Amino acid sequence: MDALAGLLDGPRARAAFLLRCVLDPPWSIRIRDEAPLSIVSVVRGDAWVTFDDASPVCLRPGDVAVLRGPDHYTVADSPGTAPQIVIHPGQRCTTPDGASLHDEMDLGVRTWGTSVDGGSVLLTGTYQASGEISDRLLRALPTLLVLRSDEWDSPLVGLLGAEIVRDDPGQTAVLDRLLDLLLIAVLRAWFSRPSSSAPAWYQALADPVVGRALRMLHNNPEYPWTVASLAARSGLSRAALARRFGELVGEPPMSYLTSWRLALAADLLLEPDATVAAVARQVGYGSAFALSTAFKRVHGVSPQDHRKRSAGAAGSPGLSPGQEVVPDPAPPAEDQDAAERGAHRGGQRGRHRLGALASTAAGEVDDQHRREDDDEARDEDETRAHRLATQAPVLSQMT
């Protein structure tokens, strides 16, 4: 699988929020839904997208914009039109004063706005949960990217416009897959543009040496890579590869590998049957504890908390809205005392076992970090030696 295919393999809409918006100017919508990713396509009229502290960007018929959250932004017929509508998390719609607009703007099946024949028509699709979009993909995208109508040719926008107003059986699944296809098609076209602000690692894939090294890291993250082994397979010295890799990618090879492994782990952890131990093996960590330590250091949360947060679980699973959790009855006092004594003894034994496991796993993490630090220190020494060697003839001439 090539790098772009791997990057675009992530979108998996699940009951995404899709809407056909029909509006009469003047109109302005303030988006505060904090969704991870949204797509806006203009069918009729013009639309201006403005992020806070950024210049307005005009969208014309046929243009498609991809907007990365959670930053707030405004979509309006003109940059000067004050917001009249606010979209909150969960796609709740109100006036700026907080009055609900849900029923007032309903124009039919997935159609919403101020007039059935308004001068502005937009198609919008929103991925509402962070787990629907790969972390790797989100980090590769700017806050706003725009693909102009003359930069690509695809029937997907027209197909989505026709399907979005249908209410046939299975329509949610149809729209989810169409949204995924549209996003992939737009991003593929955008990444292929020479002027796109694609991430440095993606641009470095075009380099014959660094591109080869990147592909090896991408395709075999579980391998115990060092700069030396990577350089040997890339056909350069360790110092030369480290220098060239840093210039093109913006960070040392082992630092990039750590980021790549943890980005892969973040995606793999969202698989329903994945365990932390299994994911650790897949991305090159020796144990679940080693992965958890590195993951929390970089992402600020444990793998388990990442999984819960990405799932967007707002309450207890399996409960209907308004349903209460009924606690189990308390055991008799004598049973509770016995259980507490047993738990205390078991807890002492468990702490000893956990302490031993933690020491072992911490050693694995330290060893891995030590290897990476040693590699990078050697790279720096060799780079300095190379620089001094190239400067020596000049210095001798000066003296």
pLDDT band, very low/low/confident/very high, at 378 (cuts 50, 70, 90): low
Higher pLDDT among residues 285 and 90, named by residue: 285
Q: Are residues 128 and 224 in the same domain?
A: no
Q: Is residue 153, in this structure, part of any structural domain at all?
A: yes
Q: Are residues 60 and 107 in the same domain?
A: yes
Q: Are residues 241 and 159 in the same domain?
A: no
**Beta carbons of 105 and 93 less than 8 angstroms apart:** yes
Q: Are residues 27 and 176 in the same domain?
A: yes
Q: Are residues 177 and 63 in the same domain?
A: yes
Placement of tokens 């897949």 in the chain: 282
- pLDDT value of position 382: 52
CA dihedral 367, 373, 377, 383 (to 10 degrees): 120
Close Cβ partners of 46 (under 8 Å, ≥ 6 residues apart): 58, 59, 60, 61, 77, 120
Q: Are residues 184 and 247 in the same domain?
A: no
Give residue 39's domain range: 3-191
Rounded to the nearest 5 degrees, what angle is found at the Cα of 324, between the Cα atoms of 322 and 328?
Answer: 170
Q: Are residues 44 and 141 in the same domain?
A: yes
Higher pLDDT among residues 244 and 5, named by residue: 244
Close Cβ partners of 39 (under 8 Å, ≥ 6 residues apart): 64, 65, 66, 67, 124, 125, 126, 179, 182, 183, 186
Q: Is residue 375, in this structure, part of any structural domain at all?
A: no
- What is the amino acid identity at position 80? G
Higher pLDDT among residues 193 and 55, named by residue: 55
Q: Is residue 67, in this structure, part of any structural domain at all?
A: yes
Which helix (H) or strand (E) segment holds residue 121: the answer is: strand 120-127
Q: Are residues 213 and 147 in the same domain?
A: no
Q: Are residues 37 and 148 in the same domain?
A: yes
* Number of independent structural domains in the chain: 2
- pLDDT value of position 272: 81
Q: Is residue 320, in this structure, part of any structural domain at all?
A: no
pLDDT band, very low/low/confident/very high, at 128 (cuts 50, 70, 90): confident
pLDDT band, very low/low/confident/very high, at 263 (cuts 50, 70, 90): confident
Domain boundary among 159, 191, 223: 191
| pLDDT, tens digit (0-9, with 9 covering 90-100), for 307-349 | 887 765 333 333 222 333 333 344 444 444 444 444 445 444 4
Q: Is residue 329, in this structure, part of any structural domain at all?
A: no
Q: Are residues 239 and 132 in the same domain?
A: no
Q: Is residue 60, in this structure, part of any structural domain at all?
A: yes
Q: Is residue 376, in this structure, part of any structural domain at all?
A: no
Give yes or no for residue 228 having a pLDDT over 90. yes
Domain boundary among 293, 308, 323: 308
The DSSP secondary structure of 180-220, one letter per residue, reads: HHHHHHHHHHHHTSTTS---HHHHHTTSTTHHHHHHHHHH-
Q: Are residues 160 and 44 in the same domain?
A: yes
Q: Are residues 130 and 248 in the same domain?
A: no
Average pLDDT of the chain to the nearest whole number:
80
Average pLDDT of the residues in 100-112: 87
Domain boundary among 158, 191, 224: 191
Rg of the Cα trace of the chain?
A: 27
Q: Which CATH number do you get for residue 271? A: 1.10.10.60
